[in-house]
Amino acid sequence: MINFNVPPCTGKELEYIAKAVKNQKICGDGEFTKKCDAWIEEKTGTKKSLLTTSCTHALELAALLADIKPGDEVIMPAYTFVSTADAFVLRGAVPVFVDIRPDTMNIDEKLIEAAVTEKTKCIAPVHYAGVSCEMDTIMDIAKRHNLAVIEDAAQGIMSTYKGKALGTFGDFGCFSFHETKNYSMGEGGALLIRDEKHIENAEIIREKGTNRSKYFRGQIDKYTWVNFGSSYLPSDMNAAYLYAQLEMAEEIAADRMASWNRYYEALTPLAEAGKIELPYVPADCEHNAHMFYIKTADLEERTRLITFLKENDILAVFHYIPLHTAPAGQKFGRFHGEDKYTTTESERLLRLPMYYGLKAEEVDYICNKVKEFYR
Ligand SMILES: *Cc1c(COP(=O)(O)O)cnc(C)c1O
C-alpha cells in the first residue's frame, strides 16, 4: 500500500528529544524552541518567529494581535481548511468568502476589492499547495483600505513570491508543522511577525497574558499578569523533533521536489491529451512541493479514479468541502459574488501521495496506474 502521507523523520529526532529531556526543560521555550525560531527567522527574514502549538493557534494569536472584534469582516477564500475561518469566528468576526482562481486554487486577487465594506478589517490569503497568492495586489488593496493581512502559510514554508518568503508579506504569517506538512513536530506551528511593535504583546498573549518571556530573558525580576492571553507555546520535546527536520530542510525540500517533478513529467502527456489538468505555478512563485494534485473532468470521474487507485494499493485523497457550503460556514460567514470556481474546481481536485522518502519507482507506479485508468 502506498500511503497518501508518511510523517517526515530524518533520524535525529529521538536523539534531540532525549537531549530536551536531559536539559530538564521539557516545557516551552527551551533550547530547541529557540533553535527552531532562530532557524525560521534566518530562513525567512521575518522580524520574529514564535513557535506555537499549531497553525490554528498561530492564526488565533494573529487575530487577537490584529484586534479583530465582533462584527468585523475578514476576506478569505472558501477553498481552505476550517482553521483559516475559525480563528476569526472565535473573535465574533464574519468570514467573507470570495471566489478562487481555477489555475492556482488561491483567492482571486481581482475579486477582493469588490468585497471590501466599512466593516472589513483584514484579508486572510491562503497559499494553497505552497504556491503564493498574488501578494503585490493583495498588499496594495490592504494598504489603500487600511486592512491587516494575516497569511495562512500553513503549507507555504520554504516557498517564495518574487524571492521573498511566504508568511513575511502580511502583518502576520502562520506556518503549520502538523504531521501532514513538509516539516513536522506532530502538532505545531509558528507565528511570523513583520513589525517589531507587535512582538511584546505577542509574547504576552502566547504566555497566558504574562510577561514571562521578558522575565526569562532577565529583563525584569518578576513576572505578572499584564494582558489577556492563552497558552500557545509547544513543549520543547516537540520542538526537538522539528529541529531535526529543519536542520535537513534543504534535503527534504529537494526530495519532495524530485517527486513533484517526476509526477509532472510523467503525467504531462495525459494533460496534453486533455484528460487531466496539472498544477500551475506562476512565474513569480517558487513552490515547496507541498502537494501534487491533478484535476479530473468532474466529481464522478474523481470518485472512480480514487476507487481504481485504492484497488491498486494507492491512497489518493481530496479535500476542502468549500467552507460556505458547510453548516458552520453558512452560520458564521457569507460568500461575496459568484461561486464560479470554488465548488466546481474543488470537486475535480485529487491529491496524489506526496511525502519525504516517496520512491521514484512508487511515483512511476502511481503515474502508470493513472494512465491505465484513462486508457
Ligand atoms: C494544515 C493547515 C492548517 C492547520 O494547521 P494546524 O497546524 O493543523 O493547526 C490551516 N490552514 C491550512 C491551509 C492548512 O493546510
325 neighbors 335 (Cβ within 8 angstroms): no
CA 273 to centroid of ligand 1, rounded, Å: 34
* Segment 296-307, tens digit of pLDDT: 999 999 999 999
Domains of the chain, start order: 13-246 (3.40.640.10), 249-374 (3.90.1150.10)
pLDDT band at 37 (very low <50, low <70, confident <90, very high): very high
Check: pTM over 0.95? Answer yes or no: yes
Q: Which protein residues touch ligand 1 with a CB less than 6 Å away?
A: 54-56, 80-81, 83-84, 126, 152, 154-155, 176, 178, 189
What tens digit of pLDDT does each residue of 240-266 get?
Answer: 999 999 999 999 999 999 999 999 999
Per-residue burial over 208-241, b = 16 or more CB atoms within 10 Å of its CB, e = otherwise: ebbbbbbeeeeeeeeeeeeeebeebbbbbbbbbb
pLDDT > 90? residue 318: yes
What is the 3 state secondary structure string of 185-248? CCCCEEEEECCHHHHHHHHHHHECCECHHHHHCCCCCCCCECCCCCECCCCHHHHHHHHHHHCC
Best probe residue, ligand 1, of 53, 56, 159, 290 (max atoms within 8 Å of C-beta)? 56
Pair type for strands 172-176 and 164-165? unpaired
Confidence of residue 181 (pLDDT cuts 50, 70, 90): very high
Provide the pLDDT for residue 25.
Answer: 87
The residue to mutate among 61, 106, 176, having the most atoms of ligand 1 within 8 angstroms of its beta carbon, is 176
Instruction: Please state the atom number of ligand 1 nearest to the C-alpha of residue 56.
Output: 9
User: How many whole angstroms separate alpha carbon 195 and alpha carbon 31?
Assistant: 25
For 45-98, the pLDDT digits (tens) are 999 999 999 999 999 999 999 999 999 999 999 999 999 999 999 999 999 999
Question: Could you tell me if 77 and 124 are in contact, meaning their C-beta atoms sit under 8 angstroms apart?
Answer: no
What mean pLDDT comes out for the span 16-41? 96
Q: Is 123 left (phi over 0), alpha (psi -120 to 50) or beta?
A: beta
CA of residue 224 to ligand 1 center, whole Å: 32
Q: What is the pLDDT of residues 83-113, one digit of tens each?
A: 999 999 999 999 999 999 999 999 999 999 9
Which atom of ligand 1 has the smallest separation from the CA of 189? Answer: 7
